[in-house]
Amino acid sequence: MNLIGPKSIASKLHLLVKILLFVEVLRVLLMALAPVLHYGLQYLSFDVGSGPVQVSFAMLRGGEERWWIWAMELTARFCHAVVLYLLMRILEPAGIGEPFHPKIPNRLRLMGCAVVASALLRTVFCGVLLKRWTYTASGVGYSWAIDYDSIFMGLVLVVLAEVFRRGYALKTEAELTV
């Protein structure tokens, strides 16, 4: 099976990322609407288990710190949806056999910026949580820690954007010399 082109791994990944994007958008919408929809959602809870925060609680009960955690998780999930959308747009030309599309470098650069922004926003939210509250319920713990892995991954994506930009320039130059 080919990596690039019709009926290739890239085209199958494109379809898979479309499905994941749809699910992530539904998660973002559900989380954004949960505080507004009071009917039947009084027992709604969610788990935050990625990054520096480890917490599980009932969404519509509790103090202001829970709303900060909700806002942090909503922001992070929105950034994840943006990354999935950009990945889908990157895999689309690769799925039809054109890996050096002129828009791929910009999409990779935006994806890297979204990953870095998500990591930095989570750090800021955790800093605010630690500064404003000390919450010591069972099963809850958060610390002020920078997510270096995500920041590094975002920077790698920005570097890859430059590689793809130069690859497209070389491809265009090679087509003109023939």
Distance separating alpha carbons of residues 144 and 47, to the nearest angstrom? 18
In this structure, is residue 27 part of a structural domain?
A: yes
In this structure, is residue 120 part of a structural domain?
A: yes
In this structure, is residue 3 part of a structural domain?
A: no
In this structure, is residue 81 part of a structural domain?
A: yes
Distance separating alpha carbons of residues 122 and 47, to the nearest angstrom? 15
Total residues belonging to the chain? 178
Cα 22 to chain centroid distance, Å, stands at 13
Each residue of 97-115: b (16+ CB within 10 Å) or e?
A: eebbbeebbebbbbbbbbb
Instruction: Write out the residue range of the structural domain in which residue 27 sits.
Output: 9-177
In this structure, is residue 4 part of a structural domain?
A: no
In this structure, is residue 143 part of a structural domain?
A: yes
The mean pLDDT of 43-50, rounded to a whole number, is 54
Interval 55-94: pLDDT, tens: 555 554 555 566 777 777 788 889 889 999 999 999 888 8
In this structure, is residue 41 part of a structural domain?
A: yes
Is residue 9 within 8 Å of residue 1, measured between CB atoms?
A: yes
In this structure, is residue 88 part of a structural domain?
A: yes
Interval 109-156: pLDDT, tens: 999 999 999 888 888 877 776 666 555 555 555 556 677 888 999 999
Segment among 40-49, 121-130, 155-164 with least mean pLDDT: 40-49
Domain count, the chain: 1
